[in-house]
Amino acid sequence: MTRKTPSKKPDSLPPDSEAAFLAGYDATVFERPSVAVDVVVLTASRGGLRVALYLRSEHPGKGRWALPGGFVRMDESLDAAAARLLRDKAGLSDLFIEQLYTFGAPGRDPRWRIITVAYYALVDPRRFDEIRVEKGARAASIHVPWSGEEGGPVEVRGDADKPLPLAFDHAEIIGTAVKRLRGKLDYTPVGFQLLPAQFTLRALQDVHETVRGESVNKDSFRRRMLAGGLIEATGEHEREVEHRPAELYRFIRRSAV
């Protein structure tokens, strides 16, 4: 790692000033970890939660699947790094994204003392399908081995329900995102981020059941959604469906998620 040579204090600065202190500060005195960002991109489709992954082509973790992530540049914020890595490694932008948790266990990365700030991004299934397959990105289904908000690592599976090996502690990071999503589902409008702009009540119920991993009572769920003041009817109905067209609703964006 490159060591920074401390600069000399200009003679014109008062010796006890902060400017003089900073001018002569040696940042190499203390050991410093590296900082990375990883993004859990989630959608609800095909009866389950799905996550965007990419195949690592280099060591460490070569041949394993990982979340879109990388190191934070010296001239960018954490949020900017998350947006950049999401765009560069998954081909996605303009998503709902929120900081999740900081993972910093010693040894979580064999290269060095690396701390990662995890984010989670939510997207409806149609936009989720925009992930860049040509860059090695793919969608994987999430299998949650715990109920409610117990938390813990999860398993991801690919084609033919085959488990995919994950790099680093990414099974734990994905599990933390699922736990956070379940915890926020009832008291924030976060679930609407997993739906298109217009949706049916059945689709909204499907999202809640998919996130929770359990069924909900149809009648009480619909009463609660309609009475909550978060959705409104659009006056339109589904088109080109074989069953009776259902009424379409939209989320009333009164506040940020």
Domains of the chain, start order: 34-183 (3.90.79.10), 190-251 (1.10.10.10)
Rounded to whole angstroms, how far apart are CA atoms 145 and 47? 16
Backbone angles phi, psi at 184, to 5 degrees: -95, -5
Collect contacts of 179-184 with beta carbons under 8 A, ≥24 apart: 179/149, 179/150, 179/151, 180/100, 180/101, 180/120, 181/42, 181/120, 181/122, 181/211, 182/148, 182/149, 182/211, 182/212, 183/149
What is the per-residue pLDDT for 187?
Answer: 86
What is the per-residue pLDDT for 38?
Answer: 97
What are the pLDDT digits (tens) for 158-216?
A: 988 899 999 999 999 999 999 999 999 988 889 999 999 999 999 999 999 999 999 99
Asked if 178 contacts 144 with a C-beta cutoff of 8 angstroms, the reply is: yes
Mean pLDDT, to the nearest integer, of 13-35?
Answer: 87
Rounded to whole angstroms, how far apart are CA atoms 196 and 45? 12
Mean pLDDT, to the nearest integer, of 7-17?
Answer: 70
Q: Which residues of 105-115 are buried (b: 16+ CB within 10 A; e: fewer)?
A: eeebbeeeebb
Q: Is the pLDDT of residue 145 over 50?
A: yes
Assign residue 72 a region: left if phi > 0, alpha if psi is -120 to 50, beta otherwise?
beta
What is the per-residue pLDDT for 182?
Answer: 96
